[in-house]
Amino acid sequence: MSFDINKIRADFPILEKEIYGKPLVYLDNAATTQKPLCVVNKIRENYLNNNANIHRGVHFLSQVATEAHEAARETVRKFINAQHAREIIFTRGTTEAINLVASSFGRSQCKEGDEIIVSHMEHHSNIVPWQLLQAEKGIVLKVIPFDENGELQLDKLDELITEKTKLISIAHVSNTLGTVNPVADIIKKAHSHNIPVMVDGAQSVPHMPVDVQALDADFYVFSGHKIYGPTGIGVLYGKEAWLDRIPPYQGGGEMIQKVTFEKTTFNELPFKFEAGTPDYIGSTALAEALNYVSAIGMDNIAAHEQELVRYTLEKLGEVENIRFIGNAKHRSGLVSFLVGNIHPYDLGSIIDKLGIAVRTGHHCAEPVMAAFGIEGTVRASFGIYNTKEEIDTLVAGVQRAAKMFKRRNG
Amino acid sequence: MTIAEKQEEIIEEFEFLEDWLDKYEQIIDKGLANPGVDEAYKIDKYLIEGCQSKVWVHAEYKDGLVYYQGESNTDITGGIVAMLVYILSGHTPQEILDTELYFIDKIGLKEHLSPTRSNGMLAMVNQMKMYALAFKSQEQA
């Protein structure tokens, strides 16, 4: 299928909405994406026709729902090119997936004084779980710094790695700077020291083809709702060898093999990590979203969004006193900026009234803000349905706001 | 003027501004006309830190009346702060405690008071009332 922007836009009914009487310009896709009709319909169809608790049910509907859930797992496997479907664990999202690894890997593999390496550009979701582990186990959290362009200083990685390093956990794409990190190189280096790597793919999976085997990632996590799927469903990919070695995260139904009050034995992968009733409605709707983007082609999507980023940098670059936060050579999906001394909250509030949805603030990455000595940025983030005309609207809105705050913008 | 009269005055000012951006222009102007807080009070002790913006607020009690100073690091929040300071300053603690600040809703700025906006506004309104309560109890003691 070729990339037909009008056809794609027609698949997303919400894009026809007007906000304060102006056409919606939705540029907050890094926070969450809008949903195509096929995903919404899938959820509806599931509840209307295929709803029954999955696994272990002998009745017809339970079988249908179970097959759909497991077919969804296979769709995810194929989408990120994992070796086995049992290496795909459904979670509530990226945050839960990272917490799962921090908890299970941390409890079983780390002791006091052991080290975990993250980067300075992580989302709080890839910082706080490690701090919890720090408080519980006394591990040490080490941080790869980035330079003024927002690129990781990988020469520093050699100094950070020691014989106590247990895991490197790093964002594939920064949610604030848009930097695409060279995770393949990081993984290669880590593996040469026998250190496993977890990749936070929340901002990469929606925007580029990802092949976990080619990357040789040990763990790779992402959220469904950022790739046109429903909220509340996400994915933890883990190499089978690792998932076998680490203990269950939560206890409950489905994840057990046999329970007595003396001893419980756990189910095999992937069920060992899916306690409680799985979100089979969400998993199948996520699969629908993945099939949707696959039909368009991740390469086509990447090319379209790269062009949007290039165009935004060019057009916004003409705004007086604009300052881009993050100027990495290899970037994806979003543009963070400030105009003069205008506070991001003020700018965001004004362009909101023009129907433009952007995010303002620290984007749950306060250490990034601290590194640049700023409180926040305005972030425009793109999806498959965005157009150059929408970016023109954004630029006009920013110009308009800049005029209103001219007394500050100097 | 009573607090109610001041609220009505502001509502009337905004009534003629149909366009959202005109309303915001008016708010920004109010902020810029506001002298803000004395440098001595622009410290953490008087800071209300929202997730998105910061607000400083200070109050003095003179001859039975409360006088506020307020300021924000953002222009829109700063404009709302200026209006709150104008409306509540020069009144007794009891009058302030009895006040329902309906003008914010009436001029269409309710969203800026929402807890999810995290701009410190809601906390500022609470803090202004706390000052009034403190002065009132001080008086009674």
Of the ranges A31-35, A283-287, B137-141, which one carries the lowest mean pLDDT score? Answer: B137-141
Q: Quick count: other Cβ atoms within 10 Å of Cβ A128? A: 17
pTM comes to 0.92
Q: Quick count: other Cβ atoms within 10 Å of Cβ B72? A: 29
User: For residue A221, what are the CA distances in angstroms to A3, A69, A76, A170, A343?
Assistant: 27, 19, 12, 10, 33
> Looking at CA atoms only, how far is residue B5 from chain A in angstroms?
28
Q: Is residue A358 scored above 90 in pLDDT?
A: yes
Residue A45: its pLDDT value, please?
Answer: 96
Judged by DSSP in three states, A304 sits in helix
∠A259-A261-A267 over CA atoms, to 5°? 20
Q: Which residue among A302, A364, A369, A396 is the active-site one?
A: A364
Tell me A373's DSSP state.
T
Ramachandran area for residue B47 (φ above 0: left; ψ -120 to 50: alpha; else beta): beta
Residue A343 and residue B75: Cβ atoms within 8 Å?
yes
Domain-by-domain residue ranges, chain B?
Answer: 3-140
CB of B120 closer than 8 Å to CB of B77? yes
User: If you average pLDDT over residues B77-83, what whole number do you get?
Assistant: 92
Q: Is residue B121 scored above 80 in pLDDT?
A: no
Q: Residue A173: CB partners within 8 Å, gap ≥ 6?
A: A179, A180, A181, A201, A203, A204, A207, A332, A333
Give the model confidence (pLDDT) of A7-23 as tens digits.
999 999 999 999 999 99
Residue A346 and residue B74: Cβ atoms within 8 Å?
yes
Chain B positions in Cβ-Cβ contact with residue A408 (cut-off 8 Å)? 75
Residue B122: its pLDDT value, please?
Answer: 79
> Is A110 a catalytic site residue?
no
Which residue in A342, A343, A403, A409 has the most chain B C-beta atoms within 10 A of its own C-beta, making it the best mutation to test that interface?
A343
User: If you average pLDDT over residues A268-296, what whole number do you get?
Assistant: 95
User: Helix, strand, coil % (nearest 5) of chain A?
Assistant: 45, 20, 40
Cross-chain CB nearest to B52 (options A342, A345, A405): A345
CATH classification for the domain delimited by B3-140, as one of 3.90.1010.10, 3.40.50.300, 1.20.58.1610, 3.30.559.10: 3.90.1010.10
CB of A275 closer than 8 Å to CB of A252? yes
DSSP A69-83: HHHHHHHHHHHHT-S
Give the model confidence (pLDDT) of B23-32 as tens digits.
999 999 999 9
User: If you average pLDDT over residues A302-317, what whole number do you get?
Assistant: 98
Residue A390: its pLDDT value, please?
Answer: 98
Residues 321-360 of chain A with CB under 8 A from chain B are: 342-346, 349-350, 353-354, 360
Residue A56: its pLDDT value, please?
Answer: 76
Q: Is residue B119 scored above 70 in pLDDT?
A: no
Give the model confidence (pLDDT) of A156-172 as tens digits.
999 999 999 999 999 99
Under the banding of pLDDT at 50, 70 and 90, the label for residue A58 is confident
∠A327-A332-A338 over CA atoms, to 5°? 45
Chain B positions in Cβ-Cβ contact with residue A343 (cut-off 8 Å)? 53, 73-75
Strand pairing class (A25-26; A356-357): parallel
A with B: how many residue pairs have Cβ under 8 Å apart?
A: 42
Under the banding of pLDDT at 50, 70 and 90, the label for residue B10 is very high
B74 part of contact set with chain A, CB < 8 Å? yes
Q: Is residue A329 scored above 70 in pLDDT?
A: yes
User: If you average pLDDT over residues A59-80, what whole number do you get?
Assistant: 96
Averaged pLDDT of chain B: 89
A364 part of contact set with chain B, CB < 8 Å? no
Domains of chain A with CATH codes: 5-30+298-404 (3.90.1150.10), 40-294 (3.40.640.10)
Residue A178: its pLDDT value, please?
Answer: 97
Under the banding of pLDDT at 50, 70 and 90, the label for residue A51 is very high
For A99, the token pair is 């917490």
Residue A345 and residue B76: Cβ atoms within 8 Å?
yes
> Looking at CA atoms only, how far is residue B91 from chain A in angstroms?
31
| pLDDT above 70: percentage of residues in chain A | 99
CB of A127 closer than 8 Å to CB of A103? no
User: If you average pLDDT over residues A238-260, what whole number do you get?
Assistant: 87
Q: Residue B37: CB partners within 8 Å, gap ≥ 6?
A: B46, B56, B57, B58, B69, B70, B71
Residue A255: its pLDDT value, please?
Answer: 80
Q: Is residue A1 scored above 60 in pLDDT?
A: no
User: If you average pLDDT over residues B27-46, what whole number do you get?
Assistant: 91
